[in-house]
Structure 1
């Protein structure tokens, strides 16, 4: 689902509607004078996604520190 952009005035005026749409899975970027300043998205966090992101960060740090992460397999990290 693509991220929809809304201005700050529209976000303020239609906040209740935007929140219902966020509950349904939409994401909005809120802009002020054409500059994106915030993102309105669901606060629900999927534990699996967070764990996968943590493992990916660990993998990236290991790769940067020479070949210490050479034995890590991205497919395996994603499965857990």
Structure 2
């Protein structure tokens, strides 16, 4: 992670944004104290969806439909 001062960040913002877009994280300081961080946006937009699917699959592990098929349950719901 790169650290730059606020003045340098202001004068070289375009270059810093380009570096961040390639995955680098940059910390901005003022008088030696951290005031901000530039981080790239989440690259994998489907990552959250994948986590939800994994949670659903984990929750259903070891559970059964008691011998019924999905088709049977669907048909019962239509009655």
- Relative to structure 1, is the Cα distance of residues 51 and 39 closer, same or farther in structure 2, using a 3 angstrom cutoff? farther
Alignment of 1:1-80 (within 5 A): 3-44=1-42, 46-48=45-47
Q: Which has the larger radius of gyration?
A: 2
TM-score normalized by structure 2? 0.55
TM-score normalized by structure 1? 0.54
Q: Does 37-46 or 8-17 show the bigger shift? A: 37-46
Please report the RMSD computed on the Cα atoms of aligned residues, expressed in angstroms. Answer: 2.9
Structure 2 unmatched ranges of 5 or more: 56-79
**Which contiguous aligned blocks of 4+ residues in structure 1 show a shift greater than 4 angstroms?**
49-52
